[in-house]
Structure 1
Amino acid sequence: MTVEEFKLPDVGEGVAEGELVSWLVAPGDRVEEDQPVAEVETDKALVEVPSSYDGVVEELFAEEGEMVPVGDVIISFRVDEDGDAEAAAGDDAGTEAEPEPADDPSSEPAAEEPDAEPEPADDPSSEPAAEEPDAEPDTPSGRTFAPPSARRLARELGVDVAAVEGSGPGGRVSESDVRAHADGDAGSTDADDAPEPRPAPTPTDTGSGDRKAAVSKRNGDGATASAGSAAGGPEPTGRDTTLATPATRKAARERGVDLDDVPTDETRDGEAFVTAEAVNAYADALESTAEPAPEPEPVDLDAGGEAAATPADAAAAAGASATDASGSGDETVPYRGVRRTIGKQMERSKYTAPHVTHHDTAEVDPLVEAREQLKPKAEASDVKLTYMPFVMKAIVAGLKKYPYLNSELREDDEEIVLKSEYNLGIAVATDAGLMVPVVDNVDEKGLFELADEVNDLAARARERKLKPAEMNGGTFSITNFGAIGGEYATPIINYPETAILGLGAIEERPVVRERDGASEVVPAPTLPLSLSIDHRVVDGAVAAEFANTVMEHLENPLLLLNE
């Protein structure tokens, strides 16, 4: 049986980090290979991270809401060398040095090695375990429970791991135990040289090296003062071990509460288990019984009096801005995931490409009529036909005629790449921010096929189910701000593309028409267009000509039959 560490994989193309949104498993859960264990939000999508092992969850090393770099260990599993984790867990229980073996394999956090030495005695200042009458006999079958990280550290420090006093369940040896043994010479018979006793860590504290399990006790040294008893509030319990979910531990940190002091009647695997509700109730009780700060004595400034500065005053002055912000009721929201990616992309585009926006308006009476005529046939094919496929086809006509709007400027190579494919990105507003799925090879697809694909991509974008590959490879982008109201805008280019077209709402607006040799103002459906270009690559005249081509195809939909 071994403990295998699982690192956050690259869940996208070149993604450097991700936010661990939620855990789908807990310590002690049995998982199978390819079973999702966590949801991670990258700068491109929300993805499920599958397990690479059949095993039992050992430890969680990240909290929900935490940003985790790709390659960092986020979870560990207990697996059998033959892949049978459940059987391995049962074997461990049978070889445990404690008098009563654990019934639940999830309560056995330690990895075992068949060639390990016997466990030491309980007294750290005593003789080696082999000389104690109650210790396990020094036989080849004896085992010392220690994870690979602790054994590696023991080898580096020249420490016999079998001689280390393990502070974990069943005498499990952690890295801190190895360091304490090396610093305090635990094998000495001089009681003055023995290391001071340490509180026993929780099952999930051990075996993680410098990492801290997300479900472990954060205050392992027991140094937190009892706020409850000092303020006359609820009496803290002062436990040595408390189990809780990452969300509960986050709530405890935010409320300034030590989990080990929170009263609870719930247990998990024989240990106290605290919920977020219990944390909040305990924190509320502490706050209600806290003594108010004494009022400062008044100072007559008119008489030349001067208030004496105290350390508390200095601290208050130093944190005045933070206090003002927290007291104003303002809410802070993490700048992460898709929102941060959008910000960085927009910043890069705006500060790299000199933007120019060309505005125009297409009179689209024939387009409205064409869509109305095709809608019944589309519905018969279970397709919702919008104006977007018509616009996409018109854009392709313009890109074929003016290829510099379907290009990429490669500054390092000092060249402009004119793209041969017509892959259009469609901006979709989601709860997480703007996402831009890409429809490939628009020139090779019909109106109904485009409508179906756009509807599918938009729906999955809103559900955060897009694959990263479905948002890459665009050559030109479209943003439809008219869907939520609005006429004109100045869209920001989806860099390194060189152009983006914004669509306003199709509505009846006053237009001037010639009738019987006279001009008159009449209502007609119009489509406002906002075309932003990278002026390093595209001239204003070319942008206007491109817009004219797009409008020509929208005002004469029969021309789209050629695209």
Structure 2
Amino acid sequence: MLEVKLHDIGEGMTEGEIIHYLVKVGDSVKTDQPLVEVQTDKMVAELTSPCSGVVKKIIIDAGETVRVGTSLIYIEADESIKMEQKTSPEMKQDVKKEAFSPVMLKEKNMALTFNRVLAAPFTRKIARDNNINIEDVPASDPSGRVTEEDVYRFLKGQQPETQKESVVAVQKEAITLETPDEIPFKGIRKKIAEKMTKSLFTIPHVTHFDEVNMTNLFRMREELKASGESVSVSAFLIKALVISLKDFPIFNAELDEDNSRILLKKNYHIGIATNTDSGLIVPVLHDADKKSIKNIHAEVKGLTERAIAGKMQPFEMQNSTFTVSNVGPLGSTGATPIINYPETALIAFHKTKKQPIVNERDEIVIGHIMTLSMAFDHRVADGATAVAFTNRFASLIEHPHKLMMEMI
């Protein structure tokens, strides 16, 4: 009998919530077949079977949170594995060790071998509580992601004709009769809260606001687009940031209080704050200084799509040295962002507006002005240095030819 245990599928993971079992007692399973969905502090992952066999016992109920190393399922291996174990005691020992090997299980579990419906854990819970197969629910989102509204819409569609009411009547009934929904405060949401609290109560935050004239960059982007090269604004912003960080390495640093030192990082791993149904995810663009603007565009697009779909790999969210939050497309005009601990600074890009500006010839023209806010650790850097840093960044963006020169 082989045990399937909860193992560490992410950096420093200590516990996980059992979201949903994909098999039941008596089911035949194959090697690498997904067995159970687990919510960690960063993602929803599937644990797969280490062998072919039959599920004999499910030990932990769905909804419970357990520590790493806890046994979840017993599987009786099929006859071929049993025969191998009987014929070779050494092989039996090796198979058992392999079944418990965290490295092997991690490699297996990172590959999701089955295409399953995209849906947040809370959405899946609503479906399960109403005895709905999530795979039967049509998705209204073009990406194929099933939302809470899709589940409720599907649920109402299952009611007999005599019970159906007008949309207005249903809304009124919901206001007067329905109890408030509850959102479990755990998983990614709880981890975000813990990390933000630690950051805010550990780091003396200072927020510096500035404006950047995006007019020339937009013009250059249009020229590139006309020639067949479509690159996002974010890619240019990240490239300019990396160049500025090299000039001001104090912001690509980490304070080591225990040893009374500031560590200036030699790698430039840029965290990309991304809003998802499960909460804020920060995928990391590793070695951004070694990538072209075109490559940055492609990699950031891929990272963002995987984060939204809940398909991030643990290594894709590790070792960031500086974080970027692009909230302008959401309509944000300003904020006081919280630093992604233990980093030294975070920069947020806000809404770009058309407004009158005075050009070099003292003419009033229409320009594209973006606001930014930069939060930094006042233990590590001072306000004057932060202003110099954003001035350097703004200069590269406002004069894109300087940005090109820095890459030669």
TM-score, reference length from structure 1: 0.54
Residue 347 of structure 1 aligns to a residue in which SS? helix
Residue 351 of structure 2 aligns to a residue in which SS? coil
CA contact (8 A) 1:508 1:526 kept: yes
CA contact (8 A) 1:54 1:84 kept: no
- For residue 19 of structure 2, the aligned residue among 6, 9, 21 is 21
Change (3 A) 1:466 1:514: same
Partner in structure 1 of residue 319 of structure 2: 473
Q: Which amino acid aligns with 2:205?
A: H
TM-superposed deviation, 1:424: 0.5
Residue 351 of structure 1 aligns to a residue in which SS? helix
Instruction: Report whether the alignment pairs 1:490 with 2:341.
Output: no
TM-superposed deviation, 1:365: 0.9
Change (3 A) 1:71 1:500: same
Q: Which amino acid aligns with 1:69?
A: R
Q: Which amino acid aligns with 2:387?
A: A
More helix by share: 2
CA distance in 1, matches of 2:77, 2:267: 48
CA distance in 2, matches of 1:524, 1:69: 55
TM-superposed deviation, 1:375: 2.3
Partner in structure 2 of residue 364 of structure 1: 214
CA distance in 2, matches of 1:386, 1:427: 16
Residue 558 of structure 1 aligns to a residue in which SS? helix
CA contact (8 A) 1:4 1:76 kept: yes
Partner in structure 2 of residue 422 of structure 1: 268
CA distance in 1, matches of 2:28, 2:225: 51
CA contact (8 A) 2:270 2:320 kept: yes
CA contact (8 A) 1:364 1:526 kept: yes
- For residue 453 of structure 1, the aligned residue among 299, 302, 319 is 299
Partner in structure 2 of residue 100 of structure 1: none
CA distance in 1, matches of 2:128, 2:44: 24
Partner in structure 2 of residue 141 of structure 1: none
Change (3 A) 1:471 1:376: farther
Instruction: Report whether the alignment pairs 1:528 with 2:371.
Output: yes
Point out which structure has higher relative CO (alpha carbons under 8 A, 6+ apart). 2
Partner in structure 1 of residue 54 of structure 2: 56
Partner in structure 1 of residue 289 of structure 2: 443
Mapping of 1:356-435 within 5 angstroms?
356-377=206-227, 379=229, 385-435=231-281
Partner in structure 1 of residue 70 of structure 2: 72
Instruction: Report whether the alignment pairs 1:560 with 2:403.
Output: yes
Partner in structure 1 of residue 36 of structure 2: 38
Q: Residues 269-321 of structure 1, C-alpha deviation per residue, up to 9 Å, x if partnerless? A: xxxxxxxx9xxxxxxxxxxxxxxxxxxxxxxxxxxxxxxxxxxxxxxxxxxxx
Q: Which amino acid aligns with 2:75?
A: F
Runs of 5+ unmatched residues, structure 2: 87-124, 132-154, 156-176
Residue 425 of structure 1 aligns to a residue in which SS? strand
Q: Which amino acid aligns with 2:57?
A: E
Partner in structure 2 of residue 347 of structure 1: 197
Partner in structure 1 of residue 159 of structure 2: none
Partner in structure 1 of residue 345 of structure 2: 499
Q: Which amino acid aligns with 1:370?
A: M
Mapping of 1:117-128 within 5 angstroms?
none
Change (3 A) 1:377 1:8: farther
Mapping of 1:69-468 within 5 angstroms?
69-79=67-77, 83-84=81-82, 329-377=179-227, 379=229, 385-468=231-314
- For residue 3 of structure 2, the aligned residue among 2, 5, 12 is 5
Matched residue pairs, number?
323
Residue 271 of structure 2 aligns to a residue in which SS? strand
TM-superposed deviation, 1:522: 3.6
TM-superposed deviation, 1:456: 0.3
TM-superposed deviation, 1:408: 0.3
CA distance in 2, matches of 1:541, 1:356: 12
Q: Residues 213-233 of structure 1, C-alpha deviation per residue, up to 9 Å, x if partnerless? A: xxxxxxxxxxxxxxxxxxxxx
CA contact (8 A) 2:54 2:78 kept: no
TM-superposed deviation, 1:21: 2.0
CA distance in 2, matches of 1:521, 1:329: 57
CA distance in 2, matches of 1:554, 1:479: 17
Change (3 A) 1:59 1:531: same
CA contact (8 A) 1:338 1:433 kept: yes
Residue 259 of structure 2 aligns to a residue in which SS? coil
Residue 258 of structure 2 aligns to a residue in which SS? coil
CA distance in 2, matches of 1:247, 1:5: 30
CA contact (8 A) 1:367 1:556 kept: yes
Q: Which amino acid aligns with 2:384?
A: A
Tell me whether 30-39 or 418-427 shows the greater mean CA deviation. Answer: 30-39
Residue 543 of structure 1 aligns to a residue in which SS? helix
Residue 506 of structure 1 aligns to a residue in which SS? strand
Change (3 A) 1:365 1:328: same
Residue 33 of structure 1 aligns to a residue in which SS? coil
Change (3 A) 1:11 1:509: same
Change (3 A) 1:420 1:51: same
Mapping of 1:545-556 within 5 angstroms?
545-556=388-399
TM-superposed deviation, 1:22: 1.9
Which structure's CA Rg is the greater one?
A: 1
Q: Residues 312-351 of structure 1, C-alpha deviation per residue, up to 9 Å, x if partnerless? A: xxxxxxxxxxxxxxx9833221111111111111111111
Change (3 A) 1:361 1:247: closer
CA contact (8 A) 1:349 1:493 kept: yes
Q: Residues 241-270 of structure 1, C-alpha deviation per residue, up to 9 Å, x if partnerless? A: xxxxx9999789xxxxxxxxxxxxxxxxxx
More strand by share: 2
TM-superposed deviation, 1:514: 5.1
Q: Residues 516-554 of structure 1, C-alpha deviation per residue, up to 9 Å, x if partnerless? A: xxx565431011110100111011110000000000000
CA distance in 2, matches of 1:42, 1:495: 19
Q: Which amino acid aligns with 2:191?
A: T
Change (3 A) 1:74 1:250: farther
